[in-house]
């Protein structure tokens, strides 16, 4: 199948959405599918206000449509609700070409964390954007229920996976951990206001706190928390060693729809402490981590968990199953390529 993915989230961004797309595309190509990507690097773009790593593309329906027709896909997946997603959505509706979308971030809460905007106002946009999609891919059943409450019932599961050859319990600890007080409490992810990292760093718990990642809030957090070890952006074996050497992984976000870093930590045998919100609540099981509205209590409970139980839970997630779910969500689509879309009957 010729599959076109339209995404406003792409390199050089480092986040769960980009990593999920890259891993899924790799699996799709290994399975023999032809995959094209429409991303901001194909157009002129500007940095997103307050988040320069994110590029906002200058691309309308016609420009995006030219790329769609050139690739002639049999399936179109619109991954994000940004400028490219909006342009692709408009093109698909104008040409009667069905498409799928994904709900990656609890967008109303994400926006409310950054701007003085009511979540209910943002939900109006979310309902408008996703309503025409044949399927909305979600990572958890909690998200499916949340969207159903908004009248969006056409959801299908698209979970996440882990590279188990990389993220495994037997990796030696990151060398930066040498001499740190135990227990080592780790956060990995974007360093941004919506990640609620301050709730973790404000916890008065013995041991050392480590933050891995980059983002617009990094300088501020470094100034506010001089005793925290900030390792910056890590990848590959260095990231895996940061997970495996920690005593507990702390995930303070309330806006993520899944938390790819959660299952990476589990796969390294590191118990997880988080709030009981969609994402962590769908993943973390008793014995492998702890959920509590008091993140400090969650840390205390997670430190008593068994690392073997954490690793066993993480082992359940793999990219092969994730990609099979993605393909299943596309199976309703016609096989006529988008180059012939103008001749297709319009679909309600």
Name the burial class of residue 342, with classes exposed (0-12), middle (13-18) and buried (19+) by CB atoms within 10 angstroms of its CB: exposed
Residues 215-257: pLDDT tens digits?
999 999 999 999 999 999 999 999 999 999 999 999 999 988 7
Give the tens place of pLDDT for each residue, 253-266: 998 878 899 999 99
- Rounded Cα–Cα distance for residues 262 and 282 (Å): 11
Strand 75-78 and strand 51-57: the pairing is: unpaired
| Beta sheet of 208-212, edge-to-edge order | 229-232, 208-212, 184-188, 248-251, 272-274, 289-291
Measure the CA–CA gap between 217 and 307, rounded to whole angstroms: 31
Rounded Cα gap, residues 18 and 4, in angstroms: 15
What is residue 235's three-state secondary structure? coil
Q: Is 18 helix (H, G, I), strand (E, B) or coil?
A: helix
Share of the chain above pLDDT 70, in %: 88
Q: Residue 250: what pLDDT? A: 98
Q: What is the pLDDT of residues 29-60, one digit of tens each?
A: 999 999 999 999 898 767 665 555 666 667 88
In tens, the pLDDT along 103-149 reads 987 655 555 555 566 778 889 999 999 999 999 999 999 999 999 99
Q: Where are the domains of the chain?
A: 2-161+320-343, 175-316
Q: Looking at residues 319-344, what average pLDDT do you find?
A: 73
Per CATH, 2-161+320-343 and 175-316 having the same topology is answered yes
For residues 282 and 291, the answer to whether their CB atoms sit within 8 Å is: no
Q: Which fold has domain 2-161+320-343?
A: Rossmann fold (3.40.50)
Residue 85 near residue 68, CB atoms below 8 Å:
no
pLDDT in tens, 165-190: 999 999 999 999 999 999 999 999 99
347 pLDDT tier (thresholds 50, 70, 90): very low
* Pairing assessment for the beta strands 229-232 and 289-291 based on DSSP bridges: unpaired
Percent of the chain residues topping a pLDDT of 90 = 75
pLDDT score of 348? 28
| CATH of segment(s) 175-316 | 3.40.50.2000
The 10 Å Cβ neighbour count of residue 75 is: 25
pLDDT at 13: 75
pLDDT in the model for residue 55: 62
Q: pLDDT by residue (tens digit) across 202-215?
A: 999 999 999 999 99
**Across 3-9, average pLDDT:** 95
Write the Ramachandran bin of 87: left for phi over 0, alpha for psi from -120 to 50, otherwise beta: alpha
Range of lowest pLDDT (2-16, 221-235, 300-314) = 2-16
* pTM, rounded to two decimals: 0.84
């Amino acid at each position: 199948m010729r599959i076109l993915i339209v995404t406003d989230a792409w390199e050089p961004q480092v986040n769960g959405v980009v990593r999920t797309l890259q891993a899924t595309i790799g699996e799709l190509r290994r399975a023999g599918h032809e995959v094209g990507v429409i991303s901001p690097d194909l157009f002129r773009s500007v940095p997103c206000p307050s988040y320069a790593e994110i590029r906002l593309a200058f691309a309308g329906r016609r420009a995006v449509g030219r790329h769609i027709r050139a690739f002639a896909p049999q399936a179109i997946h619109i991954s994000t609700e940004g400028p490219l997603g909006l342009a692709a959505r408009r093109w698909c509706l104008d040409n009667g070409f069905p498409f799928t979308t994904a709900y990656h971030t609890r967008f109303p809460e994400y926006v409310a964390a950054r701007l003085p905007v009511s979540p209910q106002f943002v939900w109006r946009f979310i309902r408008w954007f996703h309503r025409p999609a044949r399927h909305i891919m979600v990572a958890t059943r909690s998200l499916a229920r949340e969207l159903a409450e908004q009248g969006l019932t056409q959801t299908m599961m698209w979970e996440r996976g882990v590279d188990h050859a990389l993220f495994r319990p037997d990796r030696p600890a990151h060398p930066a951990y040498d001499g740190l007080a135990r227990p080592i409490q780790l956060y990995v992810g974007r360093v941004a206001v919506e990640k609620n990292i301050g709730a973790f760093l404000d916890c008065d718990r013995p041991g050392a706190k480590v933050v891995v990642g980059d983002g617009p809030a990094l300088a501020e957090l470094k100034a506010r928390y001089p005793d925290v070890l900030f390792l910056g952006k890590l990848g590959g074996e260095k990231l895996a060693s940061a997970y495996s050497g920690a005593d507990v992984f702390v995930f303070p976000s309330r806006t993520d729809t899944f938390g790819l870093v959660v299952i990476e930590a589990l796969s390294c045998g590191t118990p997880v402490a988080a709030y009981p919100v969609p994402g962590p609540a769908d993943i973390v099981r008793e014995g492998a981590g702890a959920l509590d509205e008091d993140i400090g209590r969650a840390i205390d409970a997670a430190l008593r968990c068994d690392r073997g139980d954490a690793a066993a839970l993480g082992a359940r997630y793999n990219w092969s199953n994730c990609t099979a779910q993605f393909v299943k969500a596309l199976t309703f689509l016609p096989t006529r390529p988008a180059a012939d879309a103008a001749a297709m009957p319009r679909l309600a």
